[in-house]
Structure 1
Amino acid sequence: MGKEVYTVDLDKPLVFQVGHLGEAYQEWVHQPIVSKHTPRFFESNFCEFFTRTVWWVIPLVWLPVVAWNQLVSVQRGMTLLQAATLMLAGVFVWTLMEYSLHRFLFHIKTSSYWGNTLHYLLHGCHHKHPMDGYRLVFPPAATALLAIPFWLLVRLLFPYNAVPAAFGGGLLGYVMYDVTHYYLHHGNAMNEVTRKLKKYHLNHHFREQTNSFGITSALWDWVFGTLPYVKQQ
């Protein structure tokens, strides 16, 4: 007899089921369910609460932190122009981080129970339910934890007075990324630029999931050769 294939029950909490898919997880998670339904992740209401985030919480929580970091750099002796320049540099560096995290971490191949489970929590859930509006942006608690190693890295690379401004710029880039990501799924294109960006991102979900890793722009996809395939006429 062949090995029994595990089936995920979509009407039950999903997180501790998906690990049982083993090697079948990759195929399952990249077959999207196109609805605005928000599936349940955990039996525990406490754990479930921390998996759902409305988009406006991101700028509400993090933009004051960005502003505070800029102020601290100025208080440490930087000019406003210097702090603003570092902030813009941080935003630019974030775009590379955005691409790298999406390509090499969020799309890592897993097959073990805990590998599948962690991947589903990190990014797989978004590919399975791409229109779930409550799981399109990162919960602030998770962002704070992920920001710690980046803060430590910035402290190593920059002088004391520049650290807050540089870190704040990267954080601003993250806010722009998360808000843009939500808009690409749930907003109406307002002009040709947003229409193309929306089409570009949805191509990643529904056609070529091994390309189009940039969210806020296609810059690094162009640099590293992961632009979507263009059919020749």
Structure 2
Amino acid sequence: MVAQNFVVDLNKPLVFQVGHLGEAYQEWVHQPIVSKEGPRFFENDVLEFLTRTVWWAVPVIWLPVVCWFIHNSVQLGLSCPRVALFVVIGILIWTLLEYSLHRFLFHIETKTYWWNTLHYLLHGCHHKHPMDGLRLVFPPAATAILLFPFWNLVKLLSTPVVGPALFGGGLLGYVMYDCTHYYVHHGQPKTEVPRNLKRYHLNHHFRIQNKGFGITSSLWDSVFGTLPPTKEGAKSM
């Protein structure tokens, strides 16, 4: 593929190539290649390994952490109904964060070498190769790093008793998000609700990529006016 006289060789590691596309990067990255075979990112085998994550690693690693945080609030004396309430609030906060990150960070427009490279690593790769099953969920090591500032923010804005339940709810929301994201790409839903969710998200990939930023639901798209227009016969997979 040629853009600004630079040819991206899809048979070579991509990460350090895509930055050279400059202003043409946005057009290139939003022309999806539908293949379950993911591209190679790095020449280095260790770096390449770190970019690949099986979907089930997310619930296996993080659900015990969710339970531990929620249990802490119970141990500190928070009643079960209030624990449930703050867990639900945490999930709701996550859905807003999910929407905001997807809309304002993952879809930021870049045109310089390093910003293109960073964007490709963060989200561009997913739009270029949307069916790459090993790059649909966030690598656990990166998640662990990001959890520290979020936990400190929760501690700052809540009480020691409420904080763990709230954070546990937010982390549970993240687990639900990543598992849902994998499912809408690779699952074969049989009922109406998950079928509509799959259609809704793949519509974001293949028809109108500047709308439909919700993954687990269209709630915040409805609130902030980014619902995609309905269209009969929209692409689904």
Instruction: Write the distance in 2 (CA, Å) between the matches of 1:121 and 1:4.
Output: 21
Alignment of 1:205-220 (within 5 A): 205-220=205-220
Match of 1:99 in 2: 99
Instruction: Write the distance in 1 (CA, Å) between the matches of 2:227 and 2:147.
Output: 28
Match of 1:46 in 2: 46
Instruction: Write the distance in 2 (CA, Å) between the matches of 1:72 and 1:7.
Output: 54
- After the TM superposition, list the runs of 4 or more consecutive aligned residues in structure 1 that deviate by more than 4 angstroms: none
Percent identity of paired positions between Structure 1 and Structure 2: 68
SS at match of 1:229: coil
Counterpart residue identity of residue 198, structure 2 = K
- Structure 1 window deviating more from structure 2 (53-62 vs 74-83): it is 74-83
Where does structure 2 lack aligned partners over 5 or more consecutive residues? 233-237
- CA deviation profile, 1:141-198 (whole Å, cap 9, x unmatched): 1111222222121111100111111111000000000000000000001201111111
Alignment of 1:197-208 (within 5 A): 197-208=197-208
Q: Aligned-residue CA RMSD in angstroms? A: 1.3
Instruction: Write the distance in 2 (CA, Å) between the matches of 1:129 and 1:173.
Output: 25
TM-score (norm: length of structure 2): 0.94
- 1:114 to partner: Cα distance: 0.9
Alignment of 1:155-166 (within 5 A): 155-166=155-166
Instruction: Write the distance in 1 (CA, Å) between the matches of 2:213 and 2:48.
Output: 28
SS at match of 1:110: coil
TM-score (norm: length of structure 1): 0.96
Counterpart residue identity of residue 102, structure 1 = H
- CA deviation profile, 1:44-78 (whole Å, cap 9, x unmatched): 11111110000000000000000000111112221
- 1:231 to partner: Cα distance: 5.1
Counterpart residue identity of residue 171, structure 1 = L
Instruction: Write the distance in 2 (CA, Å) between the matches of 1:95 and 1:156.
Output: 20
- 1:126 to partner: Cα distance: 0.2
Alignment of 1:130-141 (within 5 A): 130-141=130-141
- CA deviation profile, 1:20-58 (whole Å, cap 9, x unmatched): 111111000000000101111111111111100000000
Counterpart residue identity of residue 205, structure 1 = H
Corresponding residue pairs, total: 230
- Structure 1 window deviating more from structure 2 (141-150 vs 192-201): it is 141-150
Instruction: Write the distance in 2 (CA, Å) between the matches of 1:172 and 1:231.
Output: 33
- 1:19 to partner: Cα distance: 0.7
